[in-house]
Structure 1
Amino acid sequence: MLRRVSSYLFLLFLIPVSLGCAAEDSAFKAGVDYEVLPQAVRTANSSKIEVNEVFAYTCGHCFNFEAVLEPWFETLAADVDVQRTPAVWQPSMELYARAYYSASMLKVLDKVHMAIFEAIHVKREAVRSEQDLVKFFVAAGVSAEKFSQVFNSFGMSSMVNQAKARMRGYRTQGTPEMVVNGKYRVSSRMSGGFEGMIKVANYLIAKERASAN
């Protein structure tokens, strides 16, 4: 009798767990909360789960998203690779893509990235030319000559073209957006805001992690 009661109790404990898994699986739906890309885009590191933010320095929503994004990045596990892609909708936006990749190549991204955002959206400064960008790099310890060399290099042109191709593959419709592991596009419109984007991205990271095991 005790053995039968124990079996019933064990099954009762399993029921909530099963329901919880079902609820988790149905929490976010493809085509509703995120888009499954028709063709996967190659990631920077195939051994990790990539989260790639598509952003623009001129985008006020992107600037506001930083307050949510950066703390979340710090919580991500070691198997997640964080990347960013500067949006290039038109030729004038290449300037900002070059600024981002220059900061990355010169290893001063932590000093320059938010400084450019704040100059545009808080200080309301004009940042519209290579000359306007020099001060950010000089303040970060990079000479004006070195910055100009990297900013105008052939390698820089290649990186900007790769960003354009990546955006096409991502089917980017606005900024900010995130693409998880080159497969899933996450937008604030579909997920219901910045916090929603983080929740959907967490779900997709877990999904990718589970499929790899």
Structure 2
Amino acid sequence: MFIRMIKTGLITLGLVAGTLVQAAPQEGKDYQRLAAPQPVAQPGKLEVIEFFWYGCPHCYAIEPHAEAWAKTLPKDVNFRRVHVMWPGRGDLEGHAKIFVTLQQMGLAEKHSLAVFNAVQRDRLELRREEVLFNWVKKQGIDVAKFKSIYSGFGMSVAINKLAQATQAYRVEGVPLFVVNGKYMTSPGMVGREDNSVFAVIDALLASERKTAPAAPAKKK
């Protein structure tokens, strides 16, 4: 998909764009197993992570579908987004700081599409602080609180955590979805930038539910 996925994502997209995701996703085609499985953030819940970048046009294309899908999730699924952070990519940091700030304000989900629209549709350079803070004000967000977090001492720690997550899950391109710390899938693997990837995710979640250990019986 994005630069690091050109050799796989875009080639796959071109070859199978006209095909539909099969009812039973195929390992190695529609999804892959993680070489090193990762623990979920909330034990006892299934998990889906979306790795993305505000500057990625493919992430922007899938975002409306992701938002619609997220609204249908049952309570046993924890869906969270992680802004990708690759080493040596200073162009990512400005967007990652916006994500961290909104996340710490509890506004990341509410304003996700708005940030994408500003960057991708309106071509606003939100990595320039004067542009960013003016945009934040127009969104009705508390500018003083936003600035405090955005420029705070804890920001470097938060950015490092994004980099660590990107490395731990071996994310080489975005958008990428990780299911329950075990599987990865993407629009590039599926071959379509629509709801198809979420059909794969739903199938993987259903499979995980079947293999999940039964809850211990309550004592009388």
Normalization by structure 1: what TM-score?
A: 0.81
1:200 Cα deviation after fit: 1.0
Q: In angstroms, what is the RMSD of aligned CA positions? A: 1.9
Contact 1:116 1:136 in 2 (8 A): no
| 2:208 match | 208
Question: Equivalent residue for 1:85?
Answer: 82
Residue type matched to 1:196 in 2? Answer: S
Does structure 1 retain, via aligned residues, the 8 Å contact 2:85–2:163?
yes
Q: Distance in 1 between matches of 2:54 and 2:161?
A: 18
Check conservation: 1:57, 1:116, Cα contact below 8 A: yes
More RCO (CA 8 Å, sep 6+): 2
Matched, 1:54 2:55: no
Task: Give the 5 Å matches for 1:25-36.
Answer: 27-36=24-33
User: Could you tell me how far apart the structure 2 residues matched to 1:73 and 1:133 are?
Assistant: 27
Query: What whole-Å deviation, never above 9, does each CA across 1:4-52 have from its counterpart, x for those lacking one?
Result: xxxxxxxxxxxxxxxxxxx96xx22222221111111232212211111
Q: Which amino acid is the alignment partner of residue 197 of structure 1? A: V
How far did residue 128 of structure 1 move?
2.3
The higher radius of gyration belongs to 1
With the length of structure 2 as denominator, give the TM-score of the two structures.
Answer: 0.78
Unaligned runs of 5+ in 1: 1-22
2:83 and 2:154 map into 1 onto residues whose CA distance is 16
For 2:132 and 2:185, locate their aligned partners in 1 and report how far apart those are by CA, in whole Å: 30
Q: Which has the higher helix share?
A: 1
How far 1:111 sits from its partner (Å)? Answer: 4.5
Shift of 1:100: 0.8
1:66 aligns with 2:63: yes
**Does 1:43 pair with 2:62?**
no
Question: Secondary structure of the residue that 1:85 maps to in structure 2?
Answer: strand
5+ residue gaps, structure 2: 1-21, 215-220
CA contact (8 A) 1:49 1:80 kept: yes
Q: Distance in 2 between matches of 1:186 and 1:111?
A: 24
Between the two proteins, the alignment pairs up a number of residues equal to 189
* Deviation at residue 110 of structure 1 after TM alignment: 4.5
Please give the secondary structure, in 2, of the residue aligned with 1:75. Answer: coil
2-structure distance, mates of 1:176, 1:36: 17
CA distance in 2, matches of 1:45, 1:152: 29
% identity of equivalent residues: 32
Deviations 1:156-206 (A, max 9, x none): 322221111111122212111101111111122222223331111111111
- 1:117 deviates by 1.0
